[in-house]
Amino acid sequence: MLLAQSSTEAAIDVLSNTRRMCCLNYTIGDEAGDICAVETTPDALSVLRPEESFLTHANTFHSPNFQGMPEDERAERDPRAYTSHRLLSEQAEEIDRHAIADAQTHHFTGETGGICIHREFDEWPAITLLSFIGEVGKGRMWAAYGSPCQHEFLEYEL
Ligand SMILES: [Zn+2]
């Protein structure tokens, strides 16, 4: 139902009027460039709007409505969201799909994790299964299946 909506506002309306059984985050955008993250619980939702021309999120709650993580704690407690925001901020004048792909393939120095994760043999195994970049206004997306540092982003027409 979300993908069938013609605008970000219409998608937010669908989320607002749909019964939910778990907590999820949705990153939504439309052809007009209206982007947001919607954090949801079964009983409530919160819409987060970017202060810049981009938005980053890594599946932790940030909204004050949900006692979300304040910006100044994210470097330590939500390093993926913090780092992706920092990397894109450094290129804020020229964010294109290559800048986004570079951020998605980023690894933390000396670690098997980062924004791109492949910790297959750690105590808490995890791996990035899919990374994608959507160019909503042009009806295109690029997707890398598996760790994006090891798999090419392939173009898809929507
Ligand atoms: Zn990687």
Task: For 45-78, write each residue's pLDDT tens digit.
Answer: 999 999 888 888 887 888 988 888 888 888 888 8
CA of 114 to the centre of ligand 1 (A): 8
Calculate the average pLDDT of the chain: 90
Q: What are 12's two structure tokens?
A: 């937010």
| Residues forming a β-bridge with 71 | none
pTM: 0.84
3-state secondary structure of 154: strand
Segment 103-130, tens digit of pLDDT: 999 999 887 788 999 888 888 888 999 9
Q: What is the pLDDT of residue 119?
A: 83
CA of 47 to the centre of ligand 1 (A): 30
Q: What is the pLDDT of residue 123?
A: 84
Protein residues with C-beta less than 5 angstroms from the ion ligand 1 = 116, 147, 149
3-state secondary structure of 4: helix
Q: Single out the residue of 59, 27, 21, 61 nearest to residue 43, CA to CA.
A: 21
CA of 40 to the centre of ligand 1 (A): 29
